[in-house]
Amino acid sequence: MWEEEVAWEWRVGGLFFDLQMPFIGTADYVQDVVPRLNSYYSDSPRSKSAKKSIDDDLRQIGFINGICNTERDCLDSCILIEQQAHTDVDYIWDPTKNFMDDINLAAILKYCDENGILLGDEVKVIKALHEQWDRQLQATDNQGLILQICHSRGALWVKKALETYDPELRKHIRVAAFGPAVIIPNDLCEKAINYISRGDLTYLFADGRRSDDCNVVYLDRAPGAPWFDHPFGSPTYQDALEQTMKAYNKVCVK
Instruction: Give the per-residue pLDDT at 206.
Output: 65
Residue 56 above 70 pLDDT? no
What is the rounded distance in angstroms from the CA atom of residue 67 to the CA atom of residue 120? Answer: 21
The pLDDT-based confidence of 251 (bands split at 50, 70, 90) is: confident
Backbone angles phi, psi at 43, to 5 degrees: -145, 180
Neighbours of 144 (CB within 10 A): 19
* For range 18-45, the mean pLDDT: 56
CA triplet 39, 159, 55: central angle to 5 degrees? Answer: 105
- Give the count of domains, the chain: 1
Q: For residue range 142-167, what is the model confidence (pLDDT) as tens digits? A: 888 999 999 999 999 999 999 999 99
Helices (H), the chain: 2-5, 7-18, 21-24, 27-31, 33-38, 71-85, 99-114, 124-139, 153-163, 235-252
Most confidently modeled of 9-23, 30-44, 146-160, 214-228? 146-160
Please tell me the predicted confidence (pLDDT) of residue 154.
95
Q: 138: domain range?
A: 2-252
pLDDT at 50 over 70: no
pLDDT digits (tens, 9 = 90+) for 91-142: 999 888 888 888 888 888 888 888 888 998 899 999 999 999 999 999 888 8
* 72 or 45, greater pLDDT: 72
pLDDT at 21 over 50: no
Q: For the chain, give the mean pLDDT.
A: 80
Question: How many Cα atoms occupy the beta-carbon half-sphere of 59 within 13 Å?
Answer: 25
Per-residue model confidence (pLDDT) at position 2 = 36
Return the closest-CA partner of residue 126 out of 151, 94, 95, 103. 94
pTM, two decimals, is: 0.83
- Stretch 224-235: mean pLDDT, rounded? 89
Give the pLDDT score at 97.
Answer: 83
Q: State the CATH number of the domain containing residue 129.
A: 3.40.50.1820
